[in-house]
Structure 1
Amino acid sequence: MDEEFQSRLEARVARLRDDTGLTGVVVAVMADGQLAGLAASGERRRGSGIPVTVDDRWHVGSITKSMTATLLAVLKDDGRLSREDALPALLPDIQMVGGWDACTLHHLLTHTGGARANFPIRVQRVWPDTAEELVAARRGFIADVLRKNPRSPSGARFAYSNVGYTIAGHIAETVTGTPYEALLRERVFAPLKLGGAGFGPPRGHTPHQEPTGHAVRLRWFRRSADPFRTRADNSPVMSPAGAVHMTIVDLARFGAAHLAGESASSPPLMPRAAWERLHTPFLEDYASGWVRVEREWAGGPVLWHNGSNTLWYALLMLLPARNTVLAFATNDGAIRVAETAFIELARELGS
């Protein structure tokens, strides 16, 4: 890493944290496939005095959707399924009403399948003890959804859906016979060497070994969500829609794999055409686990996704024209504050 750039990034991230009051902040920059800068500032738990580090793990929320879409693309490349396969063929053992007959995997991954936004609140009371029980619980909630007609005809309207991505994740575990979580580790995390990746809130051997998420109360008050005392996340039933945690370097490496898919002659995991399909929007700016927009400051397209379980916030950006990946995370639920600050810094780094 360039020492001058690294020093400037460290100072800028420290200032960002001071200006926003976020509990902890971490940023990684990759350029031309190499780590160009890495900085962290703030605390693992508010008021603890224990600093966050660049090696800590961070909950990335709905950026998980890009990972789920990547997994399905890998399985498609294996010949296990097709994006054009419809739900009755992909989930033949689930009884569903006819309104889902036209819904394909492509529709689920582009939020155009007509699935509702979220499961009923009772899903948050479901925390299975084993992988087998988790798959069964996920299947049960999905079956309940598919017994009712979609909210809109498939392919007709964009409507962001955690349910749709949970269905997509269950399709992966159905066609392979392997639970989604194990499958994502095996087919995406391991080949890309994302060694710090896991599911749910980061949890070390002791309470202060990893950052904890923080709920915002009355604008300024923060309440730490200790994973040793509370669930501190959404139910694992929804894992394919937003339960992954990882280090900020892992997040940047995941982004670098997608960036290589935009231009490399031999990208990782699958052929370039498969990556391009993942990055192609449908109906609106949403592709498959990515938003794709044009930005003058980035010299062309920006592919991005963010995520939050209300206790954390993360943002991942790819700048193909700059051959740069920008990864940001905070263990703070002040989502709008974090998003505004991260986008401002992204413009500085990408210009």
Structure 2
Amino acid sequence: MAERQALTEEATKTAVVMPFLQALGFDVFNLEEVVPEFIADVGVKKGEKVDFALKIDGTIAMLVEVKPISCKLRDTQFSQLFRYFHVTEARLAILTNGREAWFFSDTDEPNKMDKKPFFTFDFQKHDAAQVEELARFQKGRFAIDAIIEAASNLKYTSAAAAYLKRQMEEPDDDFIRLIGRQIHEGSITKSVAEQLKPAIQAALDDLVRDRIQDRLSITFRPESATQVSPVPEEPANDNEVFTTDEEREGFMIVRAIGAKIVPVERITMRDSKSYCAILMDDNNRRPICRLYFNSATTKNLGLFDAEKKETRIKIASPADIYQSAEAIEAAIRAYA
């Protein structure tokens, strides 16, 4: 069995890893650049080998350990990399099974390899951004200080992204309470958390959608319909309209208020130069309220009565919207 594993590992080296190292600009047939079966004595352990040591200008830049393609890297013990990292000048290490490559550094403690990779690359599933990140490790572009700085940023960015992805799919109680304390006055009881959860999920979806809109410079906002308020809605010039964080927060609060009455997807936002309109079913004839947050000195909340006549009240912050929850609920119920 051990022999079969060794053969599989050798096949991984020959078929995948060596071409990969070549793609990074290393001459795999030059022992001054790629040292196979690199040996470095570590304490009482003598003659241990790491599969490859990559050199740049005579200095070891990276260590590479190869596992069989059948091996899952998360289940792998890579103690050799840990030990070799400590006794060589290398500050980068790669663990690969030919399907993935995990990149490690010493961002947590100098000269001690981190327990978790700061970057992973899937040879079969990757995007342009990951390819560009991989290009940092090319011999011709190799700059260790820039790589270490990027490694530190990537580590925290990846961890944060993974956490937020989990929360978007199924927010946990701690996350609901964290957001809830910012948008709800009073204790976050179990019933309040259940009420807030769909609104928070919807808000996260909206933030992702808005980010995509910003990146693509595309506005999905429909054209204005017939006005129902005595204050006319200004035609929005997409280049002049900017939705602020406070407007987004206000929108999330209105959704939280309405979550117990209607599905939060029915409560929508349409921004313009003068105010941010919160509507039912994205219909301008169904106004819930308006946020007048564009002034540098004052904020106003526009509320609508049964005849859809607007009254503006001054507020200090988006959190004050909760004080008008009853009027907002009444407006929502009129369209439910």
Q: Say whether the fold is shared (TM-score over 0.5).
A: no
Please give the TM-score of this superposition, normalised by the length of structure 2.
Answer: 0.22
Structure with more relative contact order (C-alpha pairs < 8 Å, separation 6 or more): 1
Please give the TM-score of this superposition, normalised by the length of structure 1.
Answer: 0.22
